[in-house]
Amino acid sequence: MCYDESKPQTRMGIAMNDEKNLLARLKTERLSLYVMKEGKVLFKSREHRIKPLYLCLRQHGGEMKGAIVVDKLVGAAAAYLCILGKVKQVITPVISRVAINALEEADISVYAEKIIDNVMNQDKTGLCPMEKLARELQSPKAFYKHISDHIYQKE
C-alpha cells in the first residue's frame, strides 16, 4: 500500500520513516535486494531480476519466515517467492497490482511508493518473462518448481 505522508503511520510494528530509511539503503548501498530479520541482514545482492530472491529462498528458506524483504521492484514472480518464504513484510519503491493482491491474500504487509499495472520486459514490448510465467502458473509453488527445474537448476 502507499501511505499518505501527512499522517504518521505504522505497519506491522515498523514506522513509516523506517520503511523510507530501508528503501534509502537500496540506493546508498546500490543494492537490488536485501532481506532483514530481527534487525540483521540475512541476505543482500546487487544482481538484478528475480535471481537474488530465488537464491535467498534456496539458501535461507526457513530463516525467511517473519523477515522483511526490501526489493527494488516487486512483480508477481517476486511476490510468489516472498509468499513461499513466509515473509512478514515487503518494502519496495515499485510494485505491480498483481503482486499487491497476491501478497495481501497471503497476509503479507506491503509498503510501496509506486504501483504499476505490469512489470514489463527490458524493451517495454511486453510483460517481463518471469511476470508472465508467474501469472500463467498462478501458484507460488508451481512457479518455484518451474524456475528450479528449468531456469536455475544449476544454482
Question: How does pLDDT run across 40-97, given as a tens digit for each residue?
Answer: 999 999 998 889 999 999 998 889 999 999 999 999 999 999 999 999 999 999 999 9
The answer to whether residue 85 is domain-embedded is yes
CA–CA separation, 79 vs 77, rounded Å? 5
- Number of domains within the chain: 1
Q: What is the pLDDT of residue 68?
A: 95
- The verdict on residue 155 lying in a domain is no
Residue 110 belongs to a domain:
yes
Per-residue pLDDT at 7 exceeds 60: no
CATH number of the domain at 57, please.
Answer: 3.40.140.30
Q: Could you list the residue range(s) of the whole structural domain that residue 40 is in?
A: 10-144
**Residue 150 in domain:** no
Segment 84-142, tens digit of pLDDT: 999 999 999 999 999 999 999 999 999 999 999 989 888 989 888 888 989 898 899 99
pTM metric for this prediction = 0.85
Q: Does residue 152 lie within any of the structural domains?
A: no
